[in-house]
Amino acid sequence: MSSTPQFGTAEYKSATGSDRCKSCQQELTSTYFRINGMLACEKCTSQLQAQTPKDTHATYVRGILFGVGGAISGLILYSAFSIITEVQIGFVALAVGWLIATAIKKGSNGVGGRRYQIAAVALTYAAVSLSAIPIGISYLMKEKKPAVASSANASPSGSSATGVGASSSPNDSAIAGQPAKQKKNLGSIAGALLIAGLASPFLELQGGFSGVIGLVIIFVGMRIAWKMTAGPRLEILGPFQANGPPAAAPSA
């Protein structure tokens, strides 16, 4: 059993008519509090407040770092499953959302809240949508292998030798400009792949009903991540006096 006071279920007045702390069951004879609508003594309230993780900047950064690791793992999981099985099942997005949310909660020691939820949703969408890049590259490589093999068998050996000889004496100015041009081309290709990957769930809408279903499943995975990273409900009211007028329970 955990030493942390538990206030998960409602506690009603005992048969003797005395009010008791929900956690330690001690009779409330002096100061008491209401935690999520349930009675708690001063000792258990102080203990709970001390053991509740605080939402600090370091906690948030740690949670995000763990979430990024979860997103990378989710991207690999989604891509590997589709590449190996050659079947793209959108329900894997649900596992990706759960994995990312679990990683964030692990990194933040259970702390949640709106900014954790936004990060979890964004990472879930990015992991699922960007998986289209390695999946697409894999499909292209599989299609090109037969074409490359057939063209290599059909080309004469003399023409290939001529080609090598011709390319062995390029212009010096062209050689000097190649590295910068290659870097620019690589940057443009990476940017185009990133944009295409992020837009891939919406581009699949061109496929009709299957694209709509895939997009809905992604949103369900994002919803799972949103709910799992919500902040724990901890409403503490008080202090109240046990001999004073009864405190009204907070409205729902």
HEC states along 161-224? HHHHHHHCCCCHHHHHHHHHHHHHHHHHHHHHHHHHHHHHHHHHHHHCHHHHHHHHHHHHHHHH
- What does DSSP assign to residue 230? S
Yes or no: say if 119 and 67 are a contact pair by the CB < 8 Å rule. Answer: yes
pLDDT in tens, 87-100: 767 788 999 999 99
The confidence band for 15, taking pLDDT boundaries of 50, 70 and 90, is very low
Alpha carbon distance, N-terminus to C-terminus of the chain: 30
The reported pLDDT for the residue numbered 222 is: 95
Tokens, residue 164? 């090598």
Q: What is the pLDDT of residue 61?
A: 96
Q: Quick check: 204 pLDDT over 90?
A: no
- Identify the domain containing residue 97 by its residue range: 57-146+186-228
Query: What average pLDDT does this structure show over 214-225?
Result: 92
Query: Helix/strand/coil (H, E, C) string of 185-197?
Result: HHHHHHHHHHHHH
Structural domain count, the chain: 1
Q: What is the 3-state secondary structure (H, E, C) of 47-99?
A: HHHHHCCCCCHHHHHHHHHHHHHHHHHHHHHHHHHHHHHCCCCCCHHHHHHHH
Residue 30 inside a domain? The answer is no
Could you give the C-alpha distances from 175 to 66, 171, 182, 184, 187, in angstroms and in order? 44, 7, 11, 15, 19
Residue 37 included in any domain: no
Q: Which two tokens stand for residue 206?
A: 């061109």
d(CA 233, CA 86): 43
Partners of 39 in the beta sheet? Answer: 34
Which residue, among 142, 138, 144, has the nearest Cα to 78 in the 3D structure? Answer: 138
Q: Looking at residue 97, what is its pLDDT?
A: 95
Q: Is residue 100 part of a domain?
A: yes
Residue 193 included in any domain:
yes
Residue 178 lies inside a defined structural domain of this protein:
no
pLDDT for 167 beyond 90: no
Whether 47 is in a domain gets the answer no
Nearest residue to 96 via CA among 248, 220, 194? 220
Mean pLDDT over each residue of the chain, to the nearest integer: 78
Q: pLDDT digit string (tens) for 46-69?
A: 888 887 778 899 999 999 999 999
Residue 235 pLDDT more than 50? yes
Q: What is the pLDDT of residues 128-157, one digit of tens each?
A: 999 988 888 888 887 766 655 555 555 555
Helix (H, G, I), strand (E, B) or coil at 27: strand
pLDDT of residue 226: 96
The mean pLDDT of 24-39, rounded to a whole number, is 84
How far apart are alpha carbons 175 and 177 in whole angstroms?
5
What's this model's pTM, rounded to 2 decimal places?
0.67
In a domain, 49, yes or no: no
Give me 183's structure tokens: 């870097």
Q: Which of 223, 235, 234, 233 is nearest to 117 (CA)?
A: 223
The rounded distance, in Å, linking the Cα atoms of 49 and 227 is 23
Residue 173 lies in a domain: no
In total, the chain counts a number of residues equal to 252
